[in-house]
Amino acid sequence: MNKTKKWIQEIKNKLHFNNKKEIVDFFVRLIFMISTIISASFIIIIIIFIAREGIKPFVTDNEGLGAVNLFRFLTGRVWLTGTTFQSTLYSVGFIIINTIYVAVLSLLISMPIGVLTALFIAKIAPKKLSSVMRTVIELLAAIPSIVYGLFGAGVILPFVYNFAKTLGIQSPGGNSVLATVIVLSLMILPTITALSEVAIRSVGKDIEHGSLALGATKTQTHFKVILTSAKSGIFSAAILGIGRALGEATAVSLVAGNAQNGPSFGIFQTTSTLTSTMLQGLKETIGLDYDIRFSVGIVLMIVILITNALLNYVKRKVGNVNVK
Amino acid sequence: MSNKRKKFDKLLQTITYISASVGVLILSLIVVFVIRNGVGLINFDLITNDYHAQFYNGGIDEVTTFSNTPRPNELATDDIYSEKWGIALRDGLDREGKPIIEVVFIAEDSPLYAMYDKNNLENTEFKIEVENIISSVKFDDKPSALSIYGAEYMINELDAENQFREIVFSSLGGGIRGSLITTLYTIGLTLIIALPIGIFSAIYLNEFAKKNRLTRIIRSMIEMLTGVPSIIFGLMGLAVFVPLTTRYTPATSANLISGSLTLAVILLPIIIRSTEESLKVIPDDFRFASLALGANNSQTTFKVVLPSALPGILTATRF
């Protein structure tokens, strides 16, 4: 009781203004604080609303269809068994595997190219060339993903189709794991290059000079000293890159082919990722078929969180030479 | 230095050169592809036209009086004119290079003005206009005159008859006027929503907030927004903003405001971070001097910090 009185007294003291200046100060503070709270609350809004919609299929009986089985949802190998609107047999198990498979493959392609390009820009290229290349990379990092999707649909799909034909394989219009991996690796290449370049440039000059003074060649210094010193920055680039690859929706759905079952490991098989599954027919559906996409959204967020945590763990494990 | 080591050095160097050139080459290829495919279709009409062509089916009652207007002089020599129907047609190509038939002239006493809209009989403003595209003329007792046969064939077929079943014509479509306007509209609306909230939050975090645990939590919550993939923002827009806007506005489904609100949420962390960067650059001496002169915190912010940070904030938020 005493405490409440004390609080009220405190609030009264705070609301007691000596002059106009203090009133203005108070309200400015209030407005700024409210904006900050609004900005910060969006992440909670996102989590609450997506969770609310996404959990619905598992806990309600979906207008008479019965609840979706969570275990089956997370492990199954077919997106939907039975007829839409009449079946609850959804599963994303194979899609999770597809998504991670595609993202890791594209990271494996673009990581070496991106890091070596960054090394070239930061250390080897003459100043003028490196500034031109840096501009190009920054420009490409800012290109919206739909343009990469169009490039994939216009150039990579026919290329994959013809490539498969020469190998004697019938590819459905080129929509395949290979096309998806190429588009994704193109898309994350600028991100990885730009971030690795910053990391490489921030390696101290004294380390480099020390290595050269010990008689190492320039190439040895680049690979054995600079790249290892910039390891943690390069890992951060990889984390951002794989985050972009996992969360990319529009470009992927243009080239993936939306496989309904799987998982697809062959490079000419059609595939589907969590994002493309979510996007597919999102605006044309209602009821359970609509709500289940929010559940896929939750799965996607969990997959991204786990991948990031894993890569961060690896980053800490491989250690770090003092960069600054 | 041993020979083997030299070779290894060369190998690594070559790999670096190759991957750098491959990276930049492929990425330039994307730019070239987009420009090469897009540039042929870009002209002024693209910006002024609507995306969807509007199709009309014009029927006509029995015609008794025909046009008497002679061929006007301003028509080009390859325009085909029908004196009977008072209409001149021209063979043309659309932006994708497909043949089309364009109306270039209609006489004032043309019987075609008597046409009515077969799809909407109450449409009184219905008429065929210059620059419309005729896709076909359909007759009762013989095959239709399609646009692939050319303007001359169509005019000849028309001249031979006193009556036709319908003319199918359309406005010139394939433009991006609508999308362009709404895109600009959305960006404007987004900035109006996101800029004040973003800049205020950044000022609060940088100038007012005490350095305690709560502030750290708020900061990390805003940082978390940057890691959320865009499709999740889209789902959030569908789950939060679309129901919200359909309840309080006449809109019935996804709309401009819900789109702008969603985009604003995506932009918020970027605006906050870049504004904070430009606020951090302002030296603390400014703030201390202002405070020492007896100004309070918000006066300092508005009269000292913001004027010096404004150029930085503006460049930071121009995306």
Residue B69 CB contacts under 8 Å (≥ 6 apart), including other chains: B83, B86, B107, B108, B109, B110
Taking an 8 Å cut-off on Cβ atoms, the answer to whether B20 and A38 are in contact is no
How confident is residue B149, by pLDDT bands cut at 50, 70 and 90?
A: confident
The secondary element (H helix, E strand) that includes residue B104 is strand B99-106
Taking an 8 Å cut-off on Cβ atoms, the answer to whether A279 and B231 are in contact is yes
Residue of B30, B197, B224 with shortest CB distance to A35 = B197
Taking an 8 Å cut-off on Cβ atoms, the answer to whether B236 and A155 are in contact is no
Instruction: Using the predicted structure, report yes or no on whether residue B256 has a pLDDT greater than 60.
Output: yes
Q: State the Cα–Cα distance between residues B275 and B311, nearest whole angstrom.
A: 10
Average pLDDT value for residue range A160-175:
84
Q: State the Cα–Cα distance between residues B263 and B194, nearest whole angstrom.
A: 9
* Residue B92 backbone dihedrals phi, psi, to 5 degrees: -145, 180
What is the C-alpha R_g of chain B? 33
**CB A220: neighbour CB atoms within 10 A?**
18
In order, the DSSP letters of A96-165 are: HHHHHHHHHHHHHHHHHHHHHHHHIIIIIS-HHHHHHHHHHHHHHHTS-HHHHHHHIIIIIHHHHHHHHH
Taking an 8 Å cut-off on Cβ atoms, the answer to whether B227 and A304 are in contact is yes
Calculate how close chain B gets to A167, using CA atoms only, in Å.
Answer: 24
pLDDT digits over B287-316, tens only?
888 888 888 777 888 888 888 888 777 776
Taking an 8 Å cut-off on Cβ atoms, the answer to whether B265 and A42 are in contact is yes
Taking an 8 Å cut-off on Cβ atoms, the answer to whether A124 and B16 are in contact is yes
Q: State the Cα–Cα distance between residues B169 and B128, nearest whole angstrom.
A: 8
Give the orientation angle of helix A93-119 with respect to helix A287-317, to 10 degrees. 40
Q: State the Cα–Cα distance between residues B109 and B69, nearest whole angstrom.
A: 7
* Residue B56 backbone dihedrals phi, psi, to 5 degrees: -130, 145
| B231 chain-A contacts, CB cut-off 8 A | 247, 249, 275, 278-279, 297, 300
How confident is residue A255, by pLDDT bands cut at 50, 70 and 90?
A: confident
Residue of B1, B9, B24 with shortest CB distance to A133 = B24
Taking an 8 Å cut-off on Cβ atoms, the answer to whether A249 and B229 are in contact is yes
Taking an 8 Å cut-off on Cβ atoms, the answer to whether B9 and A249 are in contact is no
| B229 chain-A contacts, CB cut-off 8 A | 243, 246-249, 275, 300, 304
How confident is residue A320, by pLDDT bands cut at 50, 70 and 90?
A: low
Q: Pick A103 or A64 by higher pLDDT.
A: A103
Average pLDDT value for residue range A125-151:
84
Average pLDDT value for residue range A208-214:
90
Q: State the Cα–Cα distance between residues A266 and B318, nearest whole angstrom.
A: 44
Q: What is the pLDDT of residue B115?
A: 79
pLDDT digits over B259-291, tens only?
899 999 988 888 888 888 888 888 888 888 888
**CB A222: neighbour CB atoms within 10 A?**
24
Q: What is the pLDDT of residue A108?
A: 92
How confident is residue A322, by pLDDT bands cut at 50, 70 and 90?
A: very low
Q: What is the pLDDT of residue A105?
A: 92
Instruction: Look at chain A and count its residues.
Output: 324
Block residue for tokens 């959204």: A297
Q: Which of A29, A38, A43 to mutate to test the interface with B (most CBs of B within 10 A)?
A: A43
Q: What angle do CA A100, A104, A108 make, to 5 degrees?
A: 175
Can you list the alpha helix ranges (DSSP code H) found in A214-258? 218-220, 227-229, 231-247, 250-255
Q: Which of B4, B6, B16 to mutate to test the interface with A (most CBs of A within 10 A)?
A: B16
Structure tokens at A188: 């994350």
DSSP state of A78: B
Residue B168: closest CA among B128, B137, B129: B137
First to last CA, chain B: 51
pLDDT digits over B172-193, tens only?
766 677 788 888 888 889 988 8
pLDDT digits over B193-230, tens only?
888 898 889 888 888 878 888 888 888 888 888 878 88
Q: What is the pLDDT of residue A106?
A: 92
Block residue for tokens 């309840």: B247
Instruction: Using the predicted structure, report yes or no on whether residue A323 has a pLDDT greater than 50.
Output: no
Q: State the Cα–Cα distance between residues A171 and A150, nearest whole angstrom.
A: 19
Residue of B29, B233, B298 with shortest CB distance to A28 = B298
Taking an 8 Å cut-off on Cβ atoms, the answer to whether B239 and A120 are in contact is no
Structure tokens at A218: 């320039």
Q: State the Cα–Cα distance between residues A7 and B95, nearest whole angstrom.
A: 73
Contacts 24+ apart (CB under 8 A), A304-313: A304/A243, A304/A246, A304/A247, A304/B227, A304/B229, A307/A100, A307/A103, A307/A242, A307/A243, A307/A246, A308/A239, A308/A243, A308/B227, A311/A235, A311/A238, A311/A239, A311/A242, A312/A239
Taking an 8 Å cut-off on Cβ atoms, the answer to whether B196 and A52 are in contact is no
Block residue for tokens 């005729």: B134
Mean pLDDT of chain B: 81
| A49 chain-B contacts, CB cut-off 8 A | 236, 239-240
Q: What is the ipTM of this complex?
A: 0.80
